[in-house]
């Protein structure tokens, strides 16, 4: 039995078969880059490194058909989730969101809509509109939170607070949309205590998914400067594995783990390179949990975990 609740298991539980997420670039911008909040972005950001289509935008329809063709041929996948990933995918008016999202209706293979965004880029109208897809699709919004610590959020130039996230989260749950939270482990000034406090706070929320991201340095980011000036320390594989396991032990077992470690393009990644060996990182995490004989949620203190422990 797996010691943590994978997103694949969650999807199989709903659809009875493998479901593949297709990463899309819908051409949205970000208020932290376009000057609305700031022009410099988060200190670790170089958005070119993330998405497959960034830099040479193709029409969404083309992005989707190419990916479906690829995964159906390679892995025999029949069902897909359209994952609007690049930049802030609710940073537009409702009519513009509709123009972009509606493309999924052209593909009967698409069973889900997943939207990645910032917590300060949603409001009641947008969430009400997005919740309309609940009728035909599995709908998720993934919020980039990174940490619940406001001092660190300011330090990494997120230009939003934990309270902004809480507001967006409550509104999103009000419209019965699944919430995924994106957290970064190893941020500057994030001590072990701070990260465990993140785990404790997150474990008390009614979220459906959690995505881990390891702090890494991308060429062209502000973090590159800090790293070269030796002002930032990066985690070793061993440290990361221990930390993810400590985190998992404190998160309710019902929260699906969307990802255990991030990867980045070799063209942009400066350090640490070990993170791109995803298979090894996941294996090490599994080994560590096995060694501890522990499972996701074993040390979870939230009310939702009571009476659910092994």
Assess 30 for contact with ligand SF4 (CB under 6 A): yes
Q: Say which residues have a Cβ less than 8 Å from residue 214's Cβ, sequence separation at least 6.
A: 184, 185, 186, 235, 240, 261, 262, 272, 275
Tell me how far, at minimum, the Cβ of 246 lies from ligand SF4, in Å.
25
Residue placing its CB nearer to ligand SF4 in the complex, 118 or 250: 118
- Among the candidate windows 38-46, 180-188, 215-223, 229-237, which touches ligand SF4 by CB under 6 A? 38-46
Assess 215 for contact with ligand SF4 (CB under 6 A): no
- Among the candidate windows 28-36, 61-69, 98-106, 218-226, which touches ligand SF4 by CB under 6 A? 28-36
Assess 42 for contact with ligand SF4 (CB under 6 A): yes
| Whole-number Cα distances in Å, 200 to 112, 209, 251 | 29, 15, 8
| Whole-number Cα distances in Å, 144 to 22, 39, 47, 77, 140 | 19, 18, 13, 28, 13
User: Is the distance from CB of 83 to CB of 21 less than 8 angstroms?
Assistant: yes
Residue placing its CB nearer to ligand SF4 in the complex, 42 or 104: 42
Helix (H/G/I), strand (E/B), else coil: 81: strand
Task: Quote the CA–CA distance of 225 and 145 in Å, as a whole number.
Answer: 23
- Contacts (CB under 6 A) with ligand SF4, residues 68-87: 87
User: Is the distance from CB of 249 to CB of 299 less than 8 angstroms?
Assistant: yes
What do you get for the CA distance between the two ends of the chain, in Å? 13
- Among the candidate windows 29-37, 225-233, 240-248, 276-284, which touches ligand SF4 by CB under 6 A? 29-37
Q: Work out whether strand 209-214 and strand 178-185 pair parallel, antiparallel, or are unpaired.
A: parallel
Assess 160 for contact with ligand SF4 (CB under 6 A): no
Q: Which string of x and - marks every residue 132-151 that binds ligand SF4 (by CB under 6 A)?
A: ------------x-------
Assess 180 for contact with ligand SF4 (CB under 6 A): no
User: Is the distance from CB of 208 to CB of 177 less than 8 angstroms?
Assistant: no
Tell me how far, at minimum, the Cβ of 27 lies from ligand SF4, in Å.
13
Number of residues interacting with ligand SF4: please give it, by CB under 6 A: 10
- Among the candidate windows 20-28, 41-49, 216-224, 235-243, which touches ligand SF4 by CB under 6 A? 41-49
Task: Quote the CA–CA distance of 102 and 54 in Å, as a whole number.
Answer: 20
Residues in contact with ligand SF4 by the rule CB under 6 A: 30, 32-33, 41-42, 45, 47, 87, 118, 144
């Amino acid at each position: 039995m797996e010691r943590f609740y994978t997103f694949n298991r969650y999807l199989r539980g709903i659809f009875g078969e493998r479901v593949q997420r297709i990463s899309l670039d819908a051409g949205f911008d970000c208020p932290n880059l376009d000057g609305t909040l700031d022009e410099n972005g988060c200190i670790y950001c170089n958005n070119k490194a993330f998405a497959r289509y960034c830099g040479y935008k193709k029409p969404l329809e083309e992005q989707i058909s190419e990916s479906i063709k690829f995964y159906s041929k390679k892995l025999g996948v029949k069902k897909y989730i359209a994952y609007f990933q690049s930049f802030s995918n609710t940073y537009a008016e409702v009519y513009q969101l509709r123009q972009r999202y509606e493309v999924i209706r052209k593909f009967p293979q698409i069973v889900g809509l997943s939207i990645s965004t910032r917590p300060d880029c949603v409001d009641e109208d947008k969430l009400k509109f997005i919740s309309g897809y609940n009728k035909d699709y599995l709908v998720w919004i993934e919020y980039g939170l990174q940490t619940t610590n406001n001092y660190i959020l300011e330090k990494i130039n997120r230009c939003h607070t934990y309270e902004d996230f809480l507001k967006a989260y409550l509104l999103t749950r009000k419209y019965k949309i699944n919430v995924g939270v994106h957290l970064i482990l190893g941020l500057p000034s994030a001590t072990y205590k701070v990260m465990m406090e993140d785990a404790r706070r997150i474990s008390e929320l009614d979220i459906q998914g959690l995505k881990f991201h390891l702090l890494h340095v991308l060429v062209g980011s502000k973090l590159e400067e800090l790293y070269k000036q030796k002002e930032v320390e990066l985690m070793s594989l061993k440290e990361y594995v221990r930390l993810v396991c400590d985190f998992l032990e404190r998160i309710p077992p019902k929260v699906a783990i969307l990802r255990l470690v991030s990867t980045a393009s070799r063209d942009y990644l400066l350090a640490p390179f070990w993170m791109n060996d995803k298979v090894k990182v996941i294996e090490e995490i599994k080994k560590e949990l096995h060694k501890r004989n522990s499972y996701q949620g074993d040390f979870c203190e939230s009310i939702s975990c009571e009476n659910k422990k092994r």
